[in-house]
Amino acid sequence: MSLKGLKIGFIGGGQMASAIIKGLIDSKAALPENIIVSEPSPERREYLKNTFPGIKIIFDNCALVKEADLIVLAVKPQIIKEVLKEITLCVDTSRHLIISIAAGIPIALLEAHLPEKIKVVRVMPNTPALVQAGISVYTGGRYTSSEDLALAREFLEAFGKAIELPETYFDAVTGLSGSGPAYVAAFVEALIDGGVKVGLPRPVAEILAQETILGTLKLMQGTGKNPYELKSMVTSPGGTTICGLKALEEGAFKATVMDAVEESANRSKELTLLALKEEN
Ligand SMILES: NC(=O)C1=CN([C@@H]2O[C@H](COP(=O)(O)OP(=O)(O)OC[C@H]3O[C@@H](n4cnc5c(N)ncnc54)[C@H](OP(=O)(O)O)[C@@H]3O)[C@@H](O)[C@H]2O)C=CC1
Ligand SMILES: O=C(O)[C@@H]1CCC=N1
């Protein structure tokens, strides 16, 4: 089975769903007429209609399931069980592949709330999907075949890279690549403010900050050099960069970023515990 020609349904049309939809349409992996979104908010529905001409927008999760082949669960983890309860009678285990992107929601819980033998793939994507530069981690459930996993991978590769990993890594992945775009954006913002503080006009600081980050990543990928080597290339003895790096050390920059990843991963674990606690 291939993605082409399949109907792809999104339950929830928020930030992450629309980033994926944009990636799918721009990469031509899916035609707009093969995409359906179920979304309760009238304002959001209007936004989706204007942003993605040709896609179908409804608010009936069961009707969406009946129309779609591949179903993406893109609602908040806190309401996932409500949605599973709603769709369970409409799911056809021989036809549907369910992809859940909900943070902290384990495969076992998804399977327990859907009919026996349902094919489920858990994914942690990230927002650069919108420009086809996402990185997604995925793992299959008890009943997913290698063909189902290949289809899931084809879907994910339409908007970036994809790595298959055991589910035990998902909290850590959420802390790093799932939440990571927010940390990187915060770092870019800090660089811009730093530039403004030392006298640069804001638009100039913005372009310098963005190009510095883009250029450094291209340098890293283009040369295969590790972060330590790249740091050494910039840091002339007795020069300016070492003074900047000392300020980062004094502000516990690396420890703070490590804490950010850990706190996010901890929250992912907490979301799992909350979802499982309500089971009993
Ligand atoms: N944003 C990100 O970077 C990432 C998000 N995720 C995961 O993706 C999921 C969605 O996150 P995100 O897009 O940020 O959240 P959003 O709140 O932007 O999107 C969720 C959407 O679902 C809608 N919704 C609420 N109830 C229902 C319902 N019963 N049926 C259908 N749709 C409903 C919401 O409408 P309303 O606002 O009216 O409630 C909202 O538009 C989460 O589980 C999150 O963990 C995973 C990786 C990255
Ligand atoms: O903040 C969140 O919960 C979601 C999951 C990973 C990124 N955003």
pLDDT single digits (tens) 14-42: 999 999 999 999 999 999 999 999 999 99
pLDDT of 1 > 90? The answer is no
At 73, the pLDDT band (50, 70, 90 cuts) reads very high
For residue 49, what pLDDT is reported?
A: 97
CA–CA gap between residue 145 and residue 151 (Å, rounded): 10
| Helices and strands (DSSP H and E) totals, the chain | 12, 8
Q: Decide yes or no: CATH 3.40.50.720 for domain 8-171.
A: yes
List, chain by chain if needed, residues with CB within 6 Å of any ligand 2 atom.
Answer: 103, 174, 178-179
Residue 229 has a pLDDT of: 96
Structure confidence by residue, pLDDT tens digits, 174-203:
999 999 999 999 999 999 999 999 999 999
Contact 230, 244 (CB under 8 A): no
**How does the average pLDDT of the chain come out, rounded?**
97
Every domain of the chain and the residues it spans: 8-171, 180-265
Q: Pocket of ligand 1, candidates 10, 11, 15, 123: which has the most ligand atoms within 8 Å of its Cβ, to mutate?
A: 15
pTM value is 0.97
Joined tokens for residue 152:
């899931």
Q: Is the pLDDT of residue 154 over 80?
A: yes
- Quick one: average pLDDT of 92-108? 97
Check residue 155 and give its pLDDT: 98
- What is the distance in A from the centroid of ligand 2 to the CA of 95? 29
pLDDT value of residue 140: 98
Residue 277 has pLDDT above 90, yes or no: no
Please report, rounded to a whole number, the percentage of residues in the chain having pLDDT higher than 70.
Answer: 100
Q: Which residues pair with 212 in a beta bridge?
A: none
Query: What single DSSP character describes residue 71?
Result: E
What is the maximum alpha-carbon separation in the chain?
69
Q: Model confidence at 280, in pLDDT bands (50, 70, 90)? A: low
Helices 241-250, 253-277: crossing angle, 10 deg rounding = 40
Band (pLDDT 50/70/90 cuts) for residue 43 is very high
Q: What is the CATH number of domain 180-265?
A: 1.10.3730.10
Q: Do domains 8-171 and 180-265 have the same CATH topology?
A: no
User: Given this model, what pLDDT does residue 225 score?
Assistant: 97
Average pLDDT over residues 148-157: 98
For the segment 8-12, the average pLDDT, to the nearest whole number, is 98
CA distance 142 to 66: 23
- Return d(Cα 72, Cα 123) in angstroms, integer: 10
> Cα of 262 to ligand 1 centre, how many Å?
23
Annotated binding residue at 11? yes
ipTM of model over 0.90: yes
| Residue 74 is assigned to a ligand binding site | yes
pLDDT-derived band at 109 (thresholds 50, 70, 90) equals very high
